[in-house]
Every structure is written in structure tokens, then in C-alpha cells.
Amino acid sequence: MTTAAVRIGNCSGFYGDRIGAMREMLDGGELDYLTGDYLAELTMLILARDRARNPDLGYAKTFLRQLEDCLGTALDKGVTIVANAGGLNPAALAGAVRALAERLGLAVNVAHVEGDDLLARADELGFPGPAGKSGATRGMAPLLSANAYLGAWGIVDCLASGADVVVTGRVTDASVTVGPAAAHFGWAATDYDALAGAVAAGHIIECGAQATGGNYPFFTEIPDLNHPGFPIAEISADGSSVITKHPGTGGLVSTDTVSAQLLYEIGGARYPNPDVTLRMDSVSLSQDGPDRVRVSGVRGEAPPPTLKVSLNSIGGFRNATSFVLTGLDIEAKAALVRSQLESHLPVRPAELVWTLARTDHPDADTEETASALLHCVVRDPDPAVVGRQFSSAAVELALASYPGFTSTAPPGDGQVYGVFTPGYVDAALVPHISVHADGTRVAIAPAAQTLTVEPVAAPPLPEPPQEGAAVRVPLGRIAGARSGDKGGSANVGVWVRAGASDATGNRSDDQYAWLAHTLTVDKVRELLPETAGLPVTRHLLPNLRAVNFVIDGILGQGVAYQARFDPQAKGLGEWLRSRHIEIPERLL
């Protein structure tokens, strides 16, 4: 078995990430593998619409643009490329890569992984079916895509066949890292601790520059954030890793930048993947030198018996307009235009939602800062109801409503919006196929041992901190936060930074004790009133000095539904950090 650490870099965190990152990673230093994550729940909807227009598409086209510039370099340097850019059509992307290589005069072994696409079996598996099948008769929108999240063993088999490039459909984000590590070290399917370590490393690097200072709450401390480098995981045979980046690149790799990414889009102490369940509460971080963070102590358990399924459908049509309310009597102006518009609509849309954003300031010295925004969002299955009828009713008020009537832009036609629904399916019912360059198809067996994911008992609270004088300041004075979306839910991970100390001892331990005792579910609901009435679950992660909150339903039916102005909950953590709370002075 190989024992030397394997260097796995990342060059993409989403479809649309920095186009030059693949070149930067190949030129910047030594790598064994280069991975890319191009898929998200919204991306699957975008690719589904691409495929509906052209059955030869459905993959991330930017990946081909990157390879056109970089494929020869990767081959020269012996760097194997593994990416989930295949989206809904990995076979077509594999064919396109071969055609590109032929045009470039390169001999390339290209393999792919498929089987995740369950759209044709949606009725059989009990998902909302395509038009004309059971989904339609239940009144549900026709599905555009239905994809199970596969694991890493198909990638492992492709690499064992000698592939230089492996493209997949919907595998989990971490799987493009787990596959190369498992292939490199020859891990077995039951090497749970090692696999879990690779999942942790993959989760850290999967979002690109988010691990090197991007979207980081203490961003003013990051050197050269104009162009942060992309992350690298140096994974060892036992699954432990060091997260780093190429020398001389911008950004920072620290225990805090890594903590921020570890807390991104997670739930409780168990983080299930198709090949292993990572015990997030086992992860330990330590600084291992400049721009080097060691990830150790990771424990894993058998994977769950089911796979998550991403279901995307067309929800109907959506339109919106924003009225600008300036100066005095903001509430009365909002009430007037709301009453007028609703009474002028010939047909009330299925959904009509008003939101008043009080961005106005008294005695403001600019017109913009004297103004508030009244947003109106409508949704309906009929495009005419939210299109011509709604737009006409809004525009016709221009000379007959509140003083100073104006809007940010006139409403236009209704636009199609998507709906994301999570599903689950028995892993044994999902084909997992690796397809070698010569066309050989290998079926990957599901996990022989599985374990249903159950909540972990909450760890004991630390001793409460000493009482003392307190001051009302923003939570962000002592805490970082990272938030993100998972379907219609969102998570907010909050942590205090390691290493701070004072005359009384380790201040960060005291800060965590205060955080664990103070930032309860009730306190979060108080600080974030938009969560009132929604299910909120709290998870303690003492190793990371963190508390994670999962807020169900805050994003409605997913990102494309646009239930709130921050549809992916990216700013939710920063809103929480900005809220004022009583913090003991000695902790500041």
C-alpha cells in the first residue's frame, strides 16, 4: 500500500467559478489530482433546462473551456482530473472530452460515472412523476430532473482502469476527493475512519476559495483577498490531512478559515455520505505551519442505507416589482399601494407576498437613504396572471397612488421558477456504473454494511463562564459564522476562534462556554425574527468551539423558488453576527 500523502487540489466550487483556476492550480505547484465541483441544487435545474433544449447537453460547458487550455499541461505533469461536471449527461461530456483531446492531438484515457439519473424511474420509485404519470395526477409539477447522490467507488474503479480524466454525474461534493484518496491508498469499503477523514478533507476544499479566506467573517485579516489561491488537501494513509494552498498565492489557510468551511451546509454531529458517515464531532484542527492546517482525529461510521435524491421541477411562473417609498409616512404609503394593487388585479395570484424593507433614514442627506423599498412577489401556474395582468395593474398606478410614486424597474412578463424537493431512495435500487475508456461497464455494488443515521446525544455543556460586567455589542465581536442552503432549509454555524488567552487562562474556552450557554434556539429566534415559527435545531460541536443551527423551511421550496431576498441564506450568518447581545466585558 502507498503511504506517501496524496496531494488533491480543487479548481472549482460551483458552475461559474474562476475560469482560470484550473490553469493556476496546474502551474502553481505539485499535485497528484485536480478536482472540480460544478454542481449544486440550482445547477441541476439549470442543466435540466439545457438538456430539455438539446439532449446532447446537460453538463458544465465551462469545464471543456478549461480543459482546452489545460489538458496538455495536466498530462505532462501527470495530474489526474476528477470532476462532477458531467451533471445530467456525463456520457456526453466524456465524449466531448475525447473529441477535444483528438482535436488537440492528445492521447487521453477518459472514463465516466453514471447511474444517478432516476428521472425515467420516478414513477416506479414513488417520486413526483413526469407529465402524464402519477406526479401529474397528484397535482404535482412535472419533474425536470431526479438524481441520486452517488459515492466515490465508481471514481475509484475508473482510476484503477488508468483514466487520466474522470467525469461524473451527481456524486456528493466530497466524493471527487474521496475517490482519488481511496484509489491512491487502496482503502477498503469498511475503512470508515480513513474514508471519513477524506470526506472531511473533501468537504473543506469542495467550495474552492471559501477554505482560503473567501466569504470569511474576519475578511479584513486575510492577505491578498483580491485573488485567493484555491485549496489543496494533502491526505495521508490514515485519512488525516493537511489543508494548504500553493505557495505565493493570495488568501489564508488557518484553523478559522477551515472551521468556517467545515460548518458550511451541515446538520448535526453525523454528516452522512454514500460511503461513510462522518462524525463531525470528532474533527480536530491544529495549525501546522503557515497556510497549513492539520485535520485529525476523524472518526467514521457505516453509511446510511438510503441515498439522497435531488428532485427539480417547474413550480410555475413568478413576477416581482419593488416600489420606492421616499420621505414621510412610509407605512401609510405602503398600505395605500398595497390596497390599490390588490384591488386592481383581475385574478388574485396563487401567491402574493409583500415585504417592506425599511432602508430609509430620518432627515436623510440623500434621496436614496430617505427611501424604503416595498417588494411585491407573485407566483401562479398561469403566466398571464403574473405577467400581463400583474404588470399592467402595477404600472397603471403610476399617477394615481402615493406621492413620489416610482419603482426600481417596471415589471415585465412572468418568469418560470423551479422547485427543489429532497427525496430518498434505497441505495440498492440505484445503479452505480463506471464506464471505462474502452466502453467496459462495471457495476459498483452498494455498501454491504449500513447504519441508519440517528441524532447524537447532545454533549454536556461546559461549565458556565464566570459572571461579570457585560456590554451590549454585536455578536460578531467574538464569533464567526458561516451559513448556507440545503433545499428549503438553511444552516448557520457559529464559532469562537481558538488561541485567544488572557491572565485568567484560555479565553477562547471561556468564549465557547458563553456561546454554548447563551446562543440557544430561543435566543436565535429572538435575534433573527424571520425564524419565528420555524423549526430550529441546535447542535453543539465542542471540538470546533461551535454551535450549529438548522432552520427548516426558511428558504421555501429551494433556491430557485426565491422565498426571501437572500435565497441561498449566504448572508444569514452575517445578519446574526450583526445583532447586538450582552457579552461579558472580559471576553472581549
Q: Which of 393, 305, 310 is nearest to 349 (CA)?
A: 393
- Both 96 and 205 in a single domain? yes
Say if 437 falls within a structural domain.
Answer: no
Say if 458 falls within a structural domain.
Answer: no
Over residues 409-425, mean pLDDT:
92
Say if 124 falls within a structural domain.
Answer: no
Strands 306-326 and 351-357: unpaired
Q: Is 197:295 a contact under the CB 8 Å cutoff?
A: yes
- Both 391 and 490 in a single domain? no
- Both 289 and 337 in a single domain? no
Cβ neighbour number for residue 526 with a 10 Å cutoff: 13
* CA torsion through residues 496, 497, 498, 500, sign: negative
3-state secondary structure of 111: strand
- Both 398 and 487 in a single domain? no
Residue 130 has a pLDDT of 44
- Both 249 and 372 in a single domain? no
Q: For the segment 292-330, what is each residue's pLDDT rounded down to a tens digit?
A: 999 999 999 999 999 999 999 999 999 999 999 999 999
* CA torsion through residues 120, 125, 128, 129, sign: positive
Say if 427 falls within a structural domain.
Answer: no
Name the band, by pLDDT with cuts 50, 70 and 90, for residue 142: confident
Residue 564 has a pLDDT of 87
What is the torsion angle, in degrees rounded to the nearest 10, for the CA atoms of residue 166, residue 155, residue 175 and residue 428? 130
Q: For the segment 19-67, what is each residue's pLDDT rounded down to a tens digit?
A: 999 999 999 999 999 999 999 988 999 999 999 999 999 999 999 999 9
Which of the residue ranges 136-150, 343-357, 370-384, 508-522 would you say has the lowest mean pLDDT? 136-150
Residue 513 has a pLDDT of 96
Q: Which residues share a beta bridge with 548? A: 493, 539
Which residues have C-beta within 8 Å of that of residue 90, sequence separation ≥ 6?
59, 112, 113, 114, 167, 168, 169
Q: Is 167:93 a contact under the CB 8 Å cutoff?
A: yes
Say if 441 falls within a structural domain.
Answer: no
Q: For the segment 61-81, what is each residue's pLDDT rounded down to a tens digit?
A: 999 999 999 999 999 999 999
pLDDT above 80 for 445: yes
- The alpha-carbon radius of gyration of the chain (Å, integer) is 25
pLDDT above 80 for 345: yes
- Both 222 and 329 in a single domain? no
Instruction: Extract the C-alpha cell encoding 230.
Output: 484555491
Residue bearing the bigger pLDDT, 500 or 381 = 381
Residue 133 has a pLDDT of 43
Instruction: Extract the C-alpha cell encoding 243.
Output: 489543508
Which residues have C-beta within 8 Å of that of residue 491, sequence separation ≥ 6?
263, 264, 265, 266, 267, 483, 484, 548, 549, 550, 551, 569
Domain boundary among 380, 402, 419: 419
- Both 293 and 322 in a single domain? no
Q: Is 406:353 a contact under the CB 8 Å cutoff?
A: no
Q: Which of 323, 324, 345, 353 is nearest to 390 (CA)?
A: 345
3-state secondary structure of 415: strand
Residue 498 has a pLDDT of 77
CATH, residue 385? 3.30.70
Q: By residue range, what is the domain housing residue 332?
A: 318-419
Residue 581 has a pLDDT of 98
Q: For the segment 460-499, what is each residue's pLDDT rounded down to a tens digit?
A: 999 998 888 999 999 999 999 999 998 899 999 999 997 6
Residue bearing the bigger pLDDT, 138 or 371 = 371
Average pLDDT, the chain: 94
Say if 123 falls within a structural domain.
Answer: no
Q: Which residues share a beta bridge with 481? A: 494
Q: For the segment 158-169, what is each residue's pLDDT rounded down to a tens digit?
A: 999 999 999 999
Residue 1 has a pLDDT of 55
Domain boundary among 404, 419, 434: 419
Say if 311 falls within a structural domain.
Answer: no
Neighbour order of strands in the sheet with 277-279: 270-272, 277-279, 299-301
Residue 135 has a pLDDT of 42
- Both 292 and 345 in a single domain? no
- Both 389 and 475 in a single domain? no
Name the band, by pLDDT with cuts 50, 70 and 90, for residue 449: very high
pLDDT above 70 for 255: yes
pLDDT above 60 for 82: yes
Residue 389 has a pLDDT of 96
Domains held by the chain: number: 3
Instruction: Extract the C-alpha cell encoding 286.
Output: 491544529
Say if 248 falls within a structural domain.
Answer: yes
- The burial of 139, by beta-carbon neighbours within 10 Å (0-12 exposed, 13-18 middle, 19 or more buried), is given as exposed
Residue 228 has a pLDDT of 98
- Both 249 and 365 in a single domain? no
Q: Which residues share a beta bridge with 64? A: none
- Both 67 and 100 in a single domain? yes
Q: Is 162:182 a contact under the CB 8 Å cutoff?
A: no
Residue 502 has a pLDDT of 43
Q: Is 246:190 a contact under the CB 8 Å cutoff?
A: no
Which residues have C-beta within 8 Å of that of residue 42, sequence separation ≥ 6?
418, 420, 558, 559, 560, 568
- Proportion of the chain above pLDDT 90, given as a percent: 90
- Both 72 and 217 in a single domain? yes
